[in-house]
Amino acid sequence: MHNLQLSFVSRPTRAVERWISRFRDLSLIAGVCLIGLTLGGLPTIASAQALGDTNVEPAMDNDAAGMAEAFRVIASSSETVNTLKVYVDSSSQASKVTVGLYTDANGHPGSLLVQGSKATPAAGSWNTLSITSTQVTAGRAYWIAVLGTGGTLAFRDDCCGGGTPSENSAQTSLTSLPGSWSSGLRWSDGSLSANASSSTTPPPPPPGQIATGTATVSWMPPTANTNGSTLTNLAGYKVHYGTSSSNLNQTIQVANPGSTNYVLNNLTSGATWYFGVTSYTSKGVESSVSNIVSKAIP
């Protein structure tokens, strides 16, 4: 559980606060939640995380060029994912990074579902790779694999030991991820700072209604749990909205804990729209909705 504060505290090294049993109500500070209106505008793309880790984990880990490493993950929702992200550590020397998604085969990576590559990945930053749309199923195990070429790939995980399963490829001179995984050394260094997500656009207006309004919802990120401990696994926010304050029946997921605002497009004109925000952790625990604010769309 967490409260809203005036500043965002970065995630410390391995903290007891990694667990959160439940949230206290999320309340936007008075005068901070701003609703702005502009007309027109293009639909904004939202990212919904389906599996993986959105945190920058505390330990730097690396693999030599040509050796892949896969990390076991559980899908938190059933989604059609089309984006893979990985955090490349600032010490990385790889000239190319490849990220892939494997099925689970009796506790090991199985068949490759999809992969994407990026040349000259940005070190010390999240790197986004577009992939062919791929369906994942909630509760099912998958493996996210990373491979560097042209130099040692450095990344972030929970090295060394005591985490979720990971394992190296048996091959040491790969240029792309293999269609079927061959297991090498096995570790327990997860989770890896990598995730798969889907990109969606806001739903269309009801038939016969024209949607031209745009509202910007702003909030202050929470920094603490209700027990006073530092919030360490904030994963993102959900913006809930609708034309009734008691029925916020449309939702956009913002899978970025550093975000402080979101632009909603294609709001039906001639109506008053109501907005609220919830936050959620990497474990999928969600807060109650914030105070409700409104904006009339002329």
234-264 pLDDT per residue, tens: 888 888 899 998 889 888 888 888 788 888 8
Which residue ranges form the domains of the chain, and what is each CATH number? 3-45+201-297 (2.60.40.10), 50-197 (2.60.120.820)
Mean of per-residue pLDDT scores for the chain: 78
Number of Cβ within a 10 Å radius of residue 229: 14
Q: Find tokens 């939202």 and name the residue.
A: 46
67-102 pLDDT per residue, tens: 999 999 999 888 888 899 999 999 999 999 999 999
Q: Cα angle at 292 between 211 and 51, to 5 degrees?
A: 75
Q: Cα angle at 289 between 285 and 291, to 5 degrees?
A: 150
Structure-block tokens of residue 154: 């450095």
Q: pTM to 2 decimals?
A: 0.57
